[in-house]
């Protein structure tokens, strides 16, 4: 017969043991969750004297380093372990910072280094001008090669020196600038109001330089400006100009491009002046008058006018005939005009 008191005590003891095991299991589970499990690094194998058998090497290196073993004698399995090298981790930010620093240094060096600054331009094709005159006008010496622009230099050359019919500029690294120019050839001197200009065979004028011999060219004294030469580009308006004229009702003038030189006189007038210089009497001074055209002042005291450049040779024949007619008489002319072949005339002293 079982006693009731003993059965109850046994039941309580079993319950306490069960609760203790449950609490121990819970604590063990919490400990496993909080513990960080780090897998061991892979083993480094080394060969043994017996071929085909490898043994693990003690893992004495820290994480983030690599071990390098160099085989000394494969047959004996001898190896030498090199010092462990740290594993470097480069971020894109660090690489970008390095590239920016290198680029900044390269720009600074290129800007400040004399290697990339123009020493002296190489100028070819000069005839009457000197290299110093050209260098002083364009001012390229000492300039960084990266700031130069060939078309701009060419435009500056043509603007500073109208005697250049063409100018070509080549820029090469590190600091080479080559300029090839073609100078206009002067054929006469146009003088007005005490100022003289050289004129080429196309009628383009350019200043008389200190190095230009002026005594070898015929000189024509002008009392006024010759008729304006109309360039082909100025003869017709552009579509935009025609539209503006229709809208505003104002006739807009046509402007020549910057690199287009405007001649002073026509090529035909240049030929006429050169012909007069050959056929005029010795010692005569060539003249131009806006009202009477080309002519000369005869050393005997009268002015001769031949008008424009048309039929110069025929007008010279008519002039000689007039001189023969009045030669030996008492008539002393002050002006002889052969401007119009059908109506030549002369004036006499009162």
Strand-pairing partners, residue 337, are 305, 345
pLDDT at 1 > cutoff 50: no
Q: What φ, ψ does residue 294 adopt, rounded to 5°?
A: -75, 155
Beta strands in 42-121 (DSSP E): 44-47, 54-57, 65-73, 78-86
Domain covering 95-183 in this structure, CATH number: 3.10.20.310
SS3 110: helix
Contact between residue 145 and residue 188 where contact means Cβ atoms under 8 Å apart: no
pLDDT in tens, 2-22: 445 667 777 888 888 888 888
Residue 167 has pLDDT above 80, yes or no: yes
Asked if 275 and 220 touch (Cβ cutoff 8 Å), the reply is: no
pLDDT > 70? residue 301: yes
Provide the token pair at 318: 């008519």
For residue 104, whether the previous peptide bond is cis, meaning omega lies within 30 degrees of 0, is no
Quote the DSSP letter at residue 264: S
The upper half-sphere exposure of residue 46, i.e. CA atoms within 13 Å in the direction of its Cβ, equals 19
Which residue in this structure is represented by tokens 């609760």?
Answer: 19
Q: What is the pLDDT of residues 194-217, one digit of tens each?
A: 899 999 999 999 998 876 665 689
pLDDT range class, residue 265, cuts 50, 70, 90: very high
Contact between 323 and 331 (Cβ < 8 Å): no
User: Do residues 265 and 203 lie in contact, with contact meaning Cβ atoms separated by under 8 Å?
Assistant: yes
- Mean of the per-residue pLDDT values for the chain? 80
Residues of the chain with CATH 3.10.20.310: 95-183
pLDDT given for residue 291 in this prediction = 93
Q: Is the pLDDT of residue 233 over 70?
A: no
CA distance 264 to 204: 6
* Cα dihedral sign, 184-188-190-194: positive
DSSP type of residue 145: G
pTM: 0.62
Cα 214 versus chain centre, distance: 36
Instruction: State pLDDT tens for residues 22-66.
Output: 888 787 777 776 665 565 655 555 454 444 444 554 544 445 556
Q: Which residues pair with 80 in a beta bridge?
A: 70
Tokens of 310: 């048309």
Where does the pLDDT of residue 273 fall: very low under 50, low under 70, confident under 90, or very high at 90 and above? very high
CA nearest neighbour of 226 among 272, 289, 307: 289
pLDDT at 307 over 90: yes
Phi-psi group of 283: left, alpha or beta (phi > 0 → left; psi -120 to 50 → alpha; rest → beta): left
pLDDT for position 300: 86
Residue 109's pLDDT is 78
């Amino acid at each position: 017969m079982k006693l009731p008191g003993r059965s109850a005590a046994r039941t309580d003891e079993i319950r306490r043991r069960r609760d203790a095991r449950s609490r121990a299991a819970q604590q063990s589970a919490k400990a496993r969750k909080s513990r960080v499990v780090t897998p061991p690094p892979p083993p480094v194998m080394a060969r043994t004297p017996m071929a085909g058998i490898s043994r693990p090497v003690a893992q004495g290196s820290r994480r983030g380093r690599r071990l390098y073993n160099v085989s000394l004698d494969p047959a004996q399995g001898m190896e030498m372990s090199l010092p462990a090298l740290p594993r470097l981790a480069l971020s894109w930010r660090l690489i970008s910072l390095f590239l920016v620093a290198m680029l900044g240094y390269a720009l600074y060096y290129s800007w400040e280094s004399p290697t990339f600054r123009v020493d002296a331009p190489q100028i070819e094709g000069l005839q009457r001008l000197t290299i110093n005159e050209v260098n002083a006008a364009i001012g390229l010496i000492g300039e960084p090669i990266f700031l130069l622009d060939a078309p701009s230099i060419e435009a500056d050359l043509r603007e500073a020196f109208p005697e250049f019919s063409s100018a070509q500029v080549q820029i090469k690294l590190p600091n080479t600038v080559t300029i090839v120019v073609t100078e206009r050839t002067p054929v006469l001197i146009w003088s007005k109001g005490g100022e003289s200009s050289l004129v080429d065979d196309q009628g383009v004028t350019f200043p008389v330089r200190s190095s230009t011999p002026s005594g070898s060219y015929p000189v024509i004294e002008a009392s006024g400006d010759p008729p304006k030469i109309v360039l082909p580009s100025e003869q017709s308006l552009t579509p935009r100009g025609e539209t503006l004229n229709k809208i505003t009702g104002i006739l807009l003038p046509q402007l020549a491009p910057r690199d287009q030189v405007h001649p002073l006189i026509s090529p035909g007038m240049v030929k006429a002046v050169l012909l007069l210089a050959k056929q005029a009497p010795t010692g005569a001074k060539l003249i131009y008058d806006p009202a009477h055209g080309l002519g000369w002042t005869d050393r005997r005291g009268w002015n001769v006018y031949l008008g424009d450049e048309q039929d110069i040779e025929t007008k010279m024949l008519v002039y000689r005939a007039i001189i023969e007619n009045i030669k030996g008489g008492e008539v002393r002319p002050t002006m002889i005009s052969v401007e119009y072949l059908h109506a030549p005339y002369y004036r006499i002293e009162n």
